[in-house]
């Protein structure tokens, strides 16, 4: 009975969140077929707090993402279990959150997809990926999981068309035979950053051919200093779903994580 209620609630939330967001924020997914239906890590540039929700509305089931723990304290998002129903789990941004690391590893080992934004902060539209924290590489190496990059062209705005470009899944198998330590993780992070920036270049070339005016706008924004504008109505919505600049992505003490993660229970009924 409990499982039926949980299933019913999840489908209700799908209707409540999925339909309005698809109508209000029209988004085209370029190369959608590159998304894997099995276990994978999805990472991309971070333009807005709406990024994870818009990805969720396109990926739907078997997809999880990270949200700051403060969002789970509210009676609506947290008390009713809405965030958890949508596949979010909390992270403590004040320090290394071993529980969040264990949850992320558990998600992948159960064959689900995990969404991360490794820059840890929002950046200008169309910009290159800057310093990447180590969470994506650590999760990928620990679970030997393929990584799918996503380039988000523009900051989502209501009724403005946007594009998400999906890259080819990236394998780190050339590093699988190495010990998962700080050096290996940093090498993997550099490699993933290079692959993402290659996707960005290809995506902008595509936009340049198809829509030169849009290309010029994005390039001009990229070249100008990025400053966050005053909150708009859409920004108020974003604060409820903003993905946390997660400290699990800066975990480099892999030995501690490895010891903690060995005992993770992978029973799907948990």
Which CATH number does the domain housing residue 55 bear? 3.40.1130
Whether 267 is covered by a domain: the verdict is no
Segments forming the whole domain that contains residue 133:
2-261
Whether 266 is covered by a domain: the verdict is no
Contact 142, 180 (CB under 8 A): yes
Work out how many domains the chain is built from and give that number.
Answer: 1
The DSSP string of 131-180 is SPPSHHHHHHHHHT--EEEEEE-S---TT--EEEEEPPPB--GGGTTS--
79: which DSSP letter? I
CA–chain centroid gap for 86, Å, is 13
Whether 49 is covered by a domain: the verdict is yes
Q: What is the pLDDT along the chain (270 residues), one digit of tens a residue?
A: 777 776 777 677 777 777 888 889 999 999 999 999 889 999 999 888 788 888 888 886 788 887 777 767 766 555 556 677 677 887 776 666 788 889 999 999 999 999 988 876 666 666 777 767 788 999 999 999 999 999 999 888 899 988 999 999 999 999 999 999 999 999 999 999 999 999 999 999 999 999 888 888 887 665 544 444 344 444 433 334 444 444 454 444 444 444 344 444 434 344
Whether 270 is covered by a domain: the verdict is no
Residue entry with tokens 């600049």:
245
Whether 98 is covered by a domain: the verdict is yes
Whether 146 is covered by a domain: the verdict is yes
Whether 269 is covered by a domain: the verdict is no
Q: Which conformational region is residue 12 in: left (phi greater than 0), alpha (psi within -120 to 50 degrees), or beta?
A: alpha
Whether 245 is covered by a domain: the verdict is yes
What predicted TM-score, i.e. pTM, was given to this entire model?
0.76
**Residues with Cβ within 8 Å of residue 172, at least 6 apart in sequence:** 137, 140, 141, 144, 147, 188, 191, 192
């Amino acid at each position: 009975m409990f499982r039926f209620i949980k299933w019913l609630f999840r489908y209700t939330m799908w209707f409540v969140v999925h339909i309005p967001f698809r109508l209000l924020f029209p988004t085209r997914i370029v190369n959608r077929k590159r998304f894997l239906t099995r276990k994978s890590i999805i990472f991309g540039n971070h333009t807005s707090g709406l990024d994870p929700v818009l990805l969720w509305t396109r990926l739907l089931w078997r997809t999880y993402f990270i949200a700051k723990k403060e969002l789970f304290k509210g009676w609506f998002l947290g008390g009713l279990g809405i965030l958890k129903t949508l596949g979010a789990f909390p992270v403590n941004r004040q320090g290394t959150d071993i529980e969040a690391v264990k949850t992320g590893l558990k998600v992948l080992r159960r064959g689900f997809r995990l969404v991360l934004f490794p820059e840890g902060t929002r950046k200008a539209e169309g910009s290159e990926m800057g310093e990447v924290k180590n969470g994506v590489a650590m999760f990928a190496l620990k679970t030997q999981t393929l990584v799918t990059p996503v380039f988000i062209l523009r900051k989502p705005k209501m009724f403005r068309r946007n594009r998400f470009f999906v890259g080819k899944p990236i394998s780190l198998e050339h590093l699988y035979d190495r010990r998962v330590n700080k050096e290996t993780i940093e090498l993997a992070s550099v490699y993933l950053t290079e692959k993402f920036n290659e996707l960005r270049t290809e995506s902008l070339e595509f936009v340049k051919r198809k829509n030169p005016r849009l290309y010029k706008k994005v390039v001009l924004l990229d070249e100008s200093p990025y400053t966050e504008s005053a909150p708009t109505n859409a920004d108020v919505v974003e604060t409820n779903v903003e993905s946390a600049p997660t400290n699990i992505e800066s975990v480099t003490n892999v030995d501690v994580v490895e010891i903690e993660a060995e005992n993770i229970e992978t029973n799907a009924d948990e």
